[in-house]
Amino acid sequence: MTLSERLRELFMARGIVRNFLLEDIKVKYRRSVLGFFWSLLNPLLMLIVISLAFAALFPGTRGQYTLHLLATLLPWTCVATSLEAGCRSILASESYIRQYRFPKLIFPMRTILFAFVELLLSLIALFPVALFLGLRPGPELLIIPLAIVLLFILLVGLAALAAVAVVYFRDAEHLISVFLRAWFYLTPILIPFEAIPEKYKTYFALNPMYHMLEMFDAPISRGVLPTPEVMLVATLSAVVAALVGLAVFFKMEDHLIFRL
């Protein structure tokens, strides 16, 4: 099958993806008193704890620093959740794969979509908090939907690669977890990019996740549009990751069942 045929097959299976997504939401919050509100409370509590712990390092910028955390931690949490769950998605769905014939990409997709549902609801729920901290709504916020789309495209490619890697090499799951922790500290999240010493900024700018998160950070915490360079690198990173990830996944898709 060609790439367009595989994507069309995936589109035809959108009802299956929707049902999986609804099932995941129900299972996660079953028997929880607050239910889905935990998706909104978790990032808020995380923002409060980290802001109190680190804001003292940046005197005079408490509100702006918390806005920076909101703009970068929420997308990063989506990245970490998508990849940690996505890398196990094929193995965890072995029973479905052996019984039914439908595109296997829907299994990484369901984990990504679930993470994005939580990201979108968290952004909406924390919007009043951002206003209280000093966010000034303006036309630059219109770049956020593009940032979400680019992040989704990037994660589709990375999760597809991770899922294949774990099927063929089980220890890859643990390596991915370690890699994500290292990637977190190598990305300007806890420390804003502006606070990094000048001689190290070039190295941090080589991290493609910096450009992706800057798409959120610039309009939310500083009230400006991302630079053209940031938007270009973020777009190229997303497209390249998606093309490579999907090419590898579709090439190996029909052989995955023999390695489960």
Distance CA 92, CA 110 (A): 12
- Tell me if residue 79 falls in helix, strand or coil: helix
Q: pTM for the full model?
A: 0.87
What are the φ and ψ backbone dihedral angles of 130, each rounded to 5 degrees? -65, -40
50, with CB counted inside 10 A (0-12, 13-18, 19+), is middle
Structure tokens at 26: 């129900």
Give the count of alpha carbons within 13 A of 128, CB side only: 3
Q: Where does the chain have alpha helices with state H?
A: 3-12, 14-28, 38-54, 62-86, 89-92, 94-99, 106-125, 127-133, 144-168, 172-185, 198-205, 208-217, 228-252
Q: Maximum Cα–Cα distance for the chain, whole Å?
A: 59
Closest CA to 248 of 104, 146, 126: 104
pLDDT at 61: 54
Closest CA to 226 of 248, 202, 210, 242: 210
Structure tokens at 82: 């998508």
pLDDT one digit per residue (tens) for the chain, 260 residues: 676 777 787 778 778 888 887 877 777 666 655 556 666 677 777 777 777 777 666 655 556 888 888 899 999 999 999 999 999 999 888 888 888 777 888 889 989 998 998 888 888 878 888 888 788 888 999 999 999 999 999 999 999 999 999 999 988 999 999 999 999 999 998 888 888 888 888 888 889 999 999 999 999 988 899 999 999 999 999 999 999 999 999 888 888 877 77
Domain ranges of the chain: 3-259
Q: Write b or e for each residue in 85-123: b if 16 or more Cβ atoms lie within 10 A of its Cβ, otherwise e.
A: bbbbbbbebeeebeeeeebbbbbbbbbbbbbbbbbeebb
Return the number of other C-beta atoms located less than 10 Å from residue 204's C-beta. Answer: 16
